[in-house]
Chain A
Amino acid sequence: DTEVTQTPKHLVMGMTNKKSLKCEQHMGHRAMYWYKQKAKKPPELMFVYSYEKLSINESVPSRFSPECPNSSLLNLHLHALQPEDSALYLCASSQPASGSYEQYFGPGTRLTVT
């Protein structure tokens, strides 16, 4: 199983809402990532978890709050977002001990902030 799943596929939320994005993988990977991708732009790294510990935070605003409750799950909690936060949010995973480097990406959650 080389699949990373993300839910929901689409999300519309108001600026005062609280919502969460979910990502799951069962490949035994111990590194998980959140990326943000605006239209016609490449993905930009937001957070990296390695062995369930936050390892990289790319100076992301606090209205985005990541959580890694176990080695298979990654959440992104959203609160008080702005319309400019509308984007495709991608989750990925990899095996940090691997001698190679392959990140497996999920299909993404298309977020619209109204």
Chain B
Amino acid sequence: DAKTTQPPSMDCAEGRAANLPCNHSTISGNEYVYWYRQIHSQGPQYIIHGLKNNETNEMASLIITEDRKSSTLILPHATLRDTAVYYCIVRVPGGYQKVTFGTGTKLQVIP
């Protein structure tokens, strides 16, 4: 699996957009970028995934650079409930998956 690098922590004001970066410079052509988050003491929650085009769903947007070496998860209007650890994972989709979580980014949304 390609290795990912994320900042250990970030702060964001409530109501503002939270932009969480992820570096995956060794990503291969068939690997997707997935984002999960883990709110304190809960199980991780899937957020979004993408290959090379930008993706948006009801939770977030995912922007992947043209060279695919980095991506940004955007929470458009962060709320206090978005305070969590966000994990960026690079994987080939399908099959049963050995998932390797990196250290993630602890996002603190501030009132």
Q: Which A residues lie at the B interface, using CB under 8 A?
A: 4, 31, 33, 42-45, 48-50, 55-56, 58, 88, 90, 92, 94, 96-108, 110
Binding site for A on B (CB under 8 A): 32, 34, 36, 38, 41-46, 49, 85, 87, 91, 93-104
8 A-B residue pairs with Cβ-Cβ distance under 8 Å, sorted by A, are A43-B44, A48-B97, A88-B41, A100-B94, A102-B49, A104-B46, A105-B45, A108-B43
Q: Tell me the bound Cα distance from A5 to B32 in angstroms.
A: 28
Total A-B residue pairs with C-beta atoms closer than 8 Å?
71
Bound CA–CA A104/B42 (angstroms): 12
Q: How far is the CA of A44 from the CA of B98 in the complex (A)?
A: 10
Min CB distance, A72 to chain B, in Å? 16
Alpha-carbon distance A106/B97, docked complex (angstroms): 17
Bound-state CA distance A43–B94 (Å) is 20
Candidates A94, A99, A100, A107; contact of B96 at CB < 8 Å: A94
Is the CB–CB distance between A96 and B94 below 8 Å? Answer: yes
CA distance A29 to B34 in the complex (A): 19
Given A99-B94, A100-B93, A101-B91, decide whether A42 and B42 contact each other with a Cβ distance below 8 A.
Answer: no
B101 pairs with A48, CB closer than 8 A? no
6 closest Cβ contacts across the A-B interface? A105-B43, A42-B101, A31-B96, A50-B96, A101-B93, A102-B46
Q: Give Cα A42–Cα B101 distance, bound, in whole angstroms.
A: 6
Contacts of A108 in B (CB 8 A): 41-43
CB distance from A21 to the nearest CB of B (A): 13
A93 to chain B, nearest CB (A): 10
When the two chains form their complex, are residues B46 and A106 in contact, meaning their CB atoms are under 8 A apart? no
> Are A43 and B101 in touch, CB under 8 angstroms?
yes
Distance A4 CA – B45 CA, assembled complex (angstroms): 11
Neighbouring A residues of B104 by C-beta, 8 Å: 42
- A42 CA to B43 CA, complexed, in Å: 11
Q: Which residues of A contact B96 (CB under 8 A)?
A: 31, 33, 48-50, 55-56, 94, 96
- Nearest CB to that of B46 among chain A residues? A102
A4 to B43, CA, bound (A): 10
